[in-house]
Structure 1
Amino acid sequence: MKYIVPIILFLVSCTTQPTGKYFPDGLLSEHEDLDSFVQSWYGKHLASMDEPSLANATNHEYRFTWLPTFHQPMIFRISIEDEKYIFYVKRTDGAGGYDSGRIVDNQKIKIPIETARNIISKLESDCQFWGQPTTLDTMGFDGSQWIFEASKKGRYHVVDRWSPDDGCFYEIGVELMSLSNLKINEIY
């Protein structure tokens, strides 16, 4: 494990550029260098999709950022604005482990209120989102980062997982992908 992190840092650092802050300092790693690296990596993808930071959001916001190493990065965001549920889907032509690319899909989709409420309920209750640690000691070379964020009533939290292939977060991610109606060749 101690050799994997420096290799990953080296490979991705060649393509990361400083961006605005999307996450509070120290949230994505207790190690300052790794936290800075991950902030830059995730931030460049969120910036390329013209996404807001949710850390200080005034609306209730739920976002799933999917960064597959060799495939197109995507975000799926449910925003609650004036008691309306708005579903945003964005995808770039980049690769999640490398270049952020440019937006190729940018949709604002109307989904049934009950569908949005069920997803949020599953995230908060079934997945126990607010009580989950932000990160786990699981990572690898290939795969994808599954980053779930929420901002609700002044509270903010992130759950960052590497390549889940089952479980609650995987199920929610796949459900959001399905709601987007976009063709996704491989989910990993």
Structure 2
Amino acid sequence: MPGLEVEFNDARSQQFMHCWCSGMLRALREGPLLPLAPGSEVYRFTWIPSSRGSFVIRIEHLGPVHSLHVKMTGMEEGTLALDRRVLLTPTQWQAVQQRLAEARFWSIDRFFASRGLSYLDGSEWLFEGGREGRYRVLSLHSPDPEGPERAIHDLGVFLVELAGITLPGGQLY
């Protein structure tokens, strides 16, 4: 959206963004996704808004077990407002796989925002995945639900619904 971004081109600003995302994952008590156990598959969606608490949804497939783990930051630093794990049915796992395919997660050619922009408002959407010895990351800022990033937006909305998260204001942005 016009007026919400500030352009930066230096490596220090890019490094800051990567450190910021890593810090948020530490605050949510999330470790690295790699290395993966043989035959396992994992996906993680981290939502980092500019003005409220963040959350992470991690979905894992290990052997016959499919699970979802959701965490939300608390009001006080170092606390979690939510830390819940649920088992998924094979049908739910297939629905996740379908939405990943629709979003072209493993084949899309854009991993990070293209013009080296830093935003002053909105939210950062970080999708990570690991399977068959591969790791992939996709970082977007407030994907447009009606634009070319619609399938990515729909994937995020689906994961929030699957996790049973109720957001203040009712929607992802």
Which bracket does the TM-score occupy, shorter chain normalised? Answer: 0.7 to 0.9
Aligned: 1:126 with 2:102:
yes
**Does 1:179 pair with 2:162?**
yes
TM-score, normalised to structure 2, is: 0.81
Match of 2:141 in 1: 162
Q: AA paired with 1:76? A: I
Q: Structure 1 residues 100, 152: closer, same or farther in 2, change over 3 A? A: farther
Whichever structure has more strand as a proportion of its residues is 2
Residue 6 of structure 2 corresponds to 4
In 2, the alpha carbon distance for the partners of 1:139 and 1:131 equals 25
Q: How many residues align?
A: 159
Query: Equivalent residue for 1:91?
Result: 72
Task: Find the residue that maps to 1:174 and give its secondary structure.
Answer: helix
Aligned-partner residue type, residue 108 of structure 1:
R
Question: Secondary structure of the residue that 1:70 maps to in structure 2?
Answer: coil
Q: What CA distance in whole angstroms lies between the structure 1 residues aligned with 2:10 and 2:134?
A: 23
Higher relative contact order (CA 8 A, sep 6+): 2
- 1:109 maps to which residue? 86
SS of equivalent residue, structure 1 residue 4: strand
Equivalent-residue separation in structure 1 for 2:70 and 2:163 (angstroms):
6
Quote how far apart the aligned CAs of 1:44 are: 0.9
Point out 4+ residue stretches in structure 1 off by more than 4 angstroms. Answer: none
Provide the aligned C-alpha RMSD in A.
2.3
Distance 1:31 1:149, change over 3 A: farther
Aligned match of 1:76: 57
Give the structure 2 partner of residue 51 of structure 1: 30
Q: Does 1:145 align with 2:124?
A: yes
Q: Work out the CA distance in 1 between the residues paired with 2:36 and 2:13.
A: 25
Matches within 5 A, 1:31-46: 32-46=11-25
Quote the offset at 1:118 in angstroms.
Answer: 1.6
2:65/2:87 contact within 8 Å kept: no
Q: Which runs of 5+ in 1 are unaligned?
A: 7-29
